[in-house]
Structure 1
Amino acid sequence: MTSLSSHPVSQSHRPDPGRWRILAVLLTTIFMSLIGVSIVNVALPSIHTALDATQSDMQWVLSGYALTFGVVLVAAGRAGDLMGRGGLFLIGVALFTLASVAAGLAPDAAWLNGARFAQGVGSGLLNPQGLGMIQHYFRGAERGRAFGYFGTMVGFSVAIGPVLGGLLIELGGLEIGWRLTFLVNVPIGIAVIILGLRWFPRPLIRRPGSHAPAGKSGAVDQADAEAADRLGWRSLDPFGSLLLGLAVLSFLYPFVESRTAPLTWLLLPLSLGLTAAWIGWERRTMRRGLSPMVDLRIFSTTSFSNGVLIMALYFLGMTSIWVLVALYAQEGLGMSALLSSLFGIPAALLSSWASDWAGRRVMTYGRRIVIVGLLLALAGLLTSGMVILLQAHGLASAWWLLLTLSFIGLAQGLVISPNQALTLMDVPLDYAGSSGAIMQTGQRIGTAVGIAMITAVIFWVLNMSSWPTAMLAGLGVIELVVLIALRVAIKDQRDRQRPGAI
């Protein structure tokens, strides 16, 4: 199988003078979508009381968004590759903004969950376009800086979200406060749409077949280009999109609904079968000379395959940290929700700083930055376990976790954005959206599986022992997952040092 990245590097790229303005629009949107996620966590108790929502309703307020987001990612990424990323990005922003209005005005829990499903679709449309547009407009060291700013905005959003949510709920009261946590997205979304219509250049919205000149940074394979010219919009591969969407849905659904419906675990074998059917369909599509939803030759690029695996493993382990800390602080130590949210603020701010620092240096130091980040994550996990153990014996304060969790904040900044830049570096530009969406799908699957698996370990240990013991067990599982991710990162570093490696 011919590698997609075997083409020579194009030397004709000229930076777009408006690229930094475009990046500002992208980062503002990322801020909006992430604020929406972190605020909802704070607003759940108010929603429960105001709408008389059941526990299942509350679960779907969180899970419905994640589910639809993960299902549409890859199809939306490929659509952006073919139809134009700028246009789909703005459609996604508009849908997310309208769904925020619907959520803020929801009369009951069913309406709210429907709005959250729509928000997930909007985010699934816009996110892969954002990654693809960063690849389109930035090359070399500038791309690393752009991803660094991306990571900075992620860290800042995570830090300010709970604080802003608490403030809005305090100002608006029980009935209005939680509604404001959704409606706060509306002015941001409107501003993004106006600026995007003004600043996104028209050539960004391409039609199938109007591909970039040949070259590793911007080419499709000639057969794919001819197929796109011949088939027009049918090159979106709707059947492949349906198969993959159903595979992701049947895989994620048990992890978000198993507590109320254990039989949903039977969907996992179905997911594996659908994935196999999807791979077979994509191969058949390529053999017929047509344009597949995902060109499987992308996975022959070693840096891409390794990077996707690192990201999935990292999210499988590390995303659960903040869930465990919140549970431990509130249920184990009896702290309020506001006090428990303070544990993550230093880590989030350090993550923002580290993302910017790493983004400026990722093209110089490469995968070594990710390796250092994973080592810092292990250090944070080990020292946090020591604090919990000492606190259980009255020898330390739980507030020492502010320091140890800061290592995890640094790790997040050194792993996520640099890994994105390195993973997508050798992928042809015409597959920027779909390849970025594949990476994000790995993140969503890792997050869902990790939270379900690690919280299950926590509650299983709690049935037999105490909160400190349960926390140590959960941290131990996370350390094991991070060690596997570290092994993959070291392997990728060695692969990159081989002569002629991709």
Structure 2
Amino acid sequence: MPHRAVLLVCLGAGFTTLLDQSVLTIVVPALRESLGAGPAALQWIVAGYSLSFGLALVPAGRIGDVAGRRRLFVGGLALFAAGAVVAGTADEAWLVAGARLAQGVGAGTVNPQIIGLFQDLFTGRDRARALAAYAAVGGLAAALGPPVGGLVLELTGPDLGWRLVLLLNLPFALAMLPLAARHLPAARRPDHRTDLDPLGLALLAAAILALVLPLTGTAGGWRWLLAAAVAGTAFVLWERRYAASGRTAVLLPELMRSRGYVLGTLVAMCYFGATLALGLALSLFLQHGLGYDPLITAALTLPGAVGFAAASFLSTAVVTRYGRAGVTAALGVAAASVAAEAAAVRLLPVGGAVLALALAQLVTGAAGGLVNAPNQALTLGHAPPGANGLSAAVLQLSQRLAAGVSVAAVTGVVLAAPPSLAGHRTALLHAALICFGLIVLALAFALADRAEPARVRPART
């Protein structure tokens, strides 16, 4: 494969940011007890990363398309590393939350450049392989994060342990910085014919912020949702006017008119939100509801991550041969698996339910490995020329918005459970049903995409 050094740097940076997300779920109870974090602060710590990640994606993708990716990649990774230092040494829950917001901005700056580089440098089957490798690295990070985090907590105790766990990604980030500066393509000259549409970006950021703030426990309720609707409407009207004037709008008309891109993005949005929220709900149930220590919890959630990583290695062949039909079939398996998890929580005794949850996680993870990278490859195949970073950013933004909403909602459901085994089981059942509904929606969008060809279409140049 050409550009192997670039691929390895991108995979290393992806591992760094994804490891950070996977280890967080295992340290939430320890962090909560050590710092006395209340529900609002805890929701900001959990959901704030996805919020700021989402806010950074589109501006970073747009700037990367216009001015090059290397500086944004290095700067975002440096900010991510600095946030890790602050989070791991903080003495206040709100300082951890602020550091997580900064890390989200850094990761949201890096990730559009990763997928944008894949789009820029690879074509056809090589691009599918790069995306599959990226998904496999994500699965590996998800697999390693909980057991390593649980082991650290077990060996050092909860008070020191959660700090060390939040610093786990720091050595990887520091190692990737000089490699990125050396191996990534040099910045291109800015294209003065393409502007950044700053007002459009500001309106989009305002809409996203107002939409997610109520879900983090911020006071205001319906007023924030009204503000989101106003900002969203203003954004759409401005973008239409901006595009009509002959300038390059944030949401390119070519993207929004592409049935395959829109439906593929909706699939990614629903599925990503469901799986991330379900993993967090299960981790909280095992630790809070059943009193399992972090290491046992990590061992029980490990099969899902292993299944995801293993299936990701097979996904290139699946997407090449079956296209959208393969994604649709995998979504059907995932929906059935999550339904089985909900039934196990409702009907089986505790021991049987835990075993069934671990087995179902293996199936759900394997199905996810056949959904994530193939769906990305098929969806990003519709990116218009010169908008690889932007199209990747919009796709990832939809995932992060779904993650922010789903994680905040499911965290609220689980943390509000009555302090009894029956209460915790009911809360997990409700969380699983929410996630099942999201996966069924993803399946419906995949079925609606009748225009997708059976094979990965060649990249546009």
Q: Scaled by the length of structure 2, what TM-score is found? A: 0.90
Kindly state the Cα deviation for residue 115 of structure 1 after the two structures are TM-superposed. 2.1
Question: Does residue 42 of structure 2 align to residue 58 of structure 1?
Answer: yes
2:360 is aligned to 404
Aligned with residue 307 of structure 2, among 350, 356, 366: 350
Q: What letter corresponds to residue 370 of structure 2 in structure 1?
A: L
Residue in structure 1 matched with residue 190 of structure 2 by the alignment: 208
**Which deviations, in whole Å up to 9, do the C-alpha atoms of 1:250-284 show, x marking residues without a partner?**
111111225xx3x3332112112111111221222
The corresponding residue for 1:222 is none
Pick from 92, 97, 102 the counterpart of residue 118 of structure 1.
102
Question: What SS does the corresponding residue of 2:99 show, helix, strand or coil?
Answer: helix
* Mapping for residues 10-29 of structure 1, pairs under 5 Å: 17=2, 19-29=3-13
Return the alpha-carbon distance in structure 2 between the equivalents of residues 461 and 164 of structure 1: 28
Give the conservation status (yes or no) of the 8 Å contact 1:227–1:289.
no
| CA apart distance, 1:441 | 1.2
**Structure 2 residue corresponding to 1:182, chosen from 166, 169, 185:** 166
Aligned to 2:236: 279
Q: What secondary structure sits across from 1:289 in the alignment?
A: coil
Q: Matches of 2:352 and 2:31 in 1, distance apart?
A: 36
1:397–1:44 Cα change, 3 Å: closer
- CA offset at residue 383 of structure 1? 2.3
> Conserved in 2, the CA contact under 8 Å of 1:319 and 1:451?
yes
Question: Which of 21, 31, 41 is the aligned partner of 2:25?
Answer: 41
CA-to-aligned-CA distance 1:330-365 (integer Å, 9 cap, x gap)? 344443333233222111111001111012331321
Shift of 1:40: 2.7
Q: How does 1:141-180 map to 2 (within 5 A)?
A: 141-180=125-164
Q: Give the corresponding residue for 1:194.
A: 178
Letter of the structure 1 residue corresponding to residue 355 of structure 2: W
Structure 1 stretch 159-168 or stretch 317-326: which is displaced more? Answer: 317-326
Deviation, 1:395, is 9.1
Q: Is the 8 A contact 2:285 2:424 kept in 1?
A: yes
Cα deviation for residue 492 of structure 1 reads 1.1
Aligned partner of 1:217 in structure 2 is: none
Q: How many residues align?
A: 455
1:75 to 49, 55, 59: 59
Q: CA contact under 8 A between 2:77 and 2:173: conserved in structure 1?
A: yes
- Whether the 8 Å CA contact 1:140–1:363 is kept in 2: the answer is no
Amino acid at match of 1:354: A
Distance 1:182 1:451 in 2: 19
Other-structure match for 1:11: none
2:384 paired with 1:428: yes
* Counterpart residue type for residue 189 of structure 2: R
Structure 1: runs of 5 or more not aligned:
1-14, 210-225, 229-234
- How far off is 1:409 after superposition? 0.6
**Secondary structure at the counterpart of residue 53 of structure 2:** helix
| Map of 1:241 onto structure 2 | 201
Q: How far apart, in 2, do the equivalents of 1:470 and 1:182 lie? A: 27
Q: Residue 321 of structure 1 aligns with which residue?
A: 278
Secondary structure at 1:207's aligned position in 2? coil
Question: Shift of the alpha carbon at 1:183?
Answer: 2.9
Secondary structure of the equivalent of 2:251? coil
Distance 1:134 1:177, change over 3 A: same
Match of 1:301 among 258, 276, 279: 258
CA change 1:397–1:441 in 2 (3 A) is closer
Distance in 2 (CA, whole Å) between partners of 1:324 and 1:174 is: 20
2:283 and 2:301 in contact (8 A); partners too:
no
Distance 1:396 1:40, change over 3 A: closer
Counterparts in 2 of 1:169 and 1:437: CA distance versus 1, 3 Å: same
Change (3 A) 1:267 1:93: same
CA contact (8 A) 2:51 2:401 kept: no
- 2:331 is aligned, of 374, 389, 395, to 374
Match of 1:227 in 2: 193
Residue in structure 2 matching 1:479, options 409, 417, 436: 436
Structure 1: distance between partners of 2:447 and 2:272: 18
Counterpart in the other structure of 1:361: 318
Residue 80 of structure 2 corresponds to which residue in structure 1?
96
Shift of residue 489, structure 1, vs aligned partner: 0.7
Letter in 2 for 1:402: A
Counterparts in 2 of 1:426 and 1:386: CA distance versus 1, 3 Å: same
In the alignment, the residues of structure 2 paired with residue 327 and residue 41 of structure 1 have an alpha-carbon distance, to the nearest angstrom, of 8
Larger Rg: 1
Q: Distance in 1 between matches of 2:437 and 2:162?
A: 38
Query: Which amino acid in the other structure matches residue 227 of structure 1?
Result: R
- In the alignment, the residues of structure 2 paired with residue 456 and residue 175 of structure 1 have an alpha-carbon distance, to the nearest angstrom, of 24
Rounded Cα–Cα distance in structure 2 between residues aligned with 1:37 and 1:386: 28
User: Which of these residues, 341, 344, 362, is aligned with residue 384 of structure 1?
Assistant: 341
> How far apart are the structure 2 equivalents of 1:252 and 1:476?
21
The alpha carbon displacement at 1:78 in A equals: 0.5
Q: Distance in 2 between matches of 1:318 and 1:433?
A: 25
Distance 1:163 1:442 in 2: 29
CA pair 109-461 structure 1, distance change in 2 beyond 3 A: closer
- Match of 2:250, SS state, is coil
Preserved contact between residue 32 and residue 38 of structure 2 (Cα < 8 Å): yes
| Mapped partners of 1:395, 1:126: distance in 2 | 42
Question: 1:187 & 1:145 partners in 2: Cα distance?
Answer: 27
Q: Write the distance in 2 (CA, Å) between the matches of 1:404 and 1:45.
A: 24
Cα RMSD for the two superposed structures: 2.7
Find the residue that maps to 2:189 and give its secondary structure.
coil
Contact 1:144 1:361 survives alignment (8 Å) = no
Cα distance in 2, alignment partners of residues 112 and 461 from structure 1: 25
Amino acid at match of 1:76: A
- Judging changes above 3 Å, is the alpha-carbon distance between structure 1 residues 81 and 331 closer, same or farther for their aligned structure 2 residues? same
What is the Cα deviation at residue 449 of structure 1? 2.4
The partner residue of 2:210 within 227, 250, 254 is 250
Q: Partner letter of residue 241 of structure 1? A: L
Q: d(CA) in 1 for partners of 2:374 and 2:111?
A: 17
| CA gap 1:112/1:410 in 2 versus in 1, 3 angstroms | same
Counterparts of 2:185 and 2:164, CA distance in 1: 34
**What's the CA shift for 1:286?**
1.8
Gap regions ≥5 residues in structure 2 = none
Distance in structure 1 (CA, Å) of the matches to 2:410 and 2:101: 25
Task: Kindly state the Cα deviation for residue 208 of structure 1 after the two structures are TM-superposed.
Answer: 2.9
Structure-1 separation of matches of 2:145 and 2:440:
30
1:185-223, Cα deviation, whole Å (9 max, x unpaired): 232112211111221132xx12332xxxxxxxxxxxxxx
TM-score, length-normalised on structure 1?
0.83
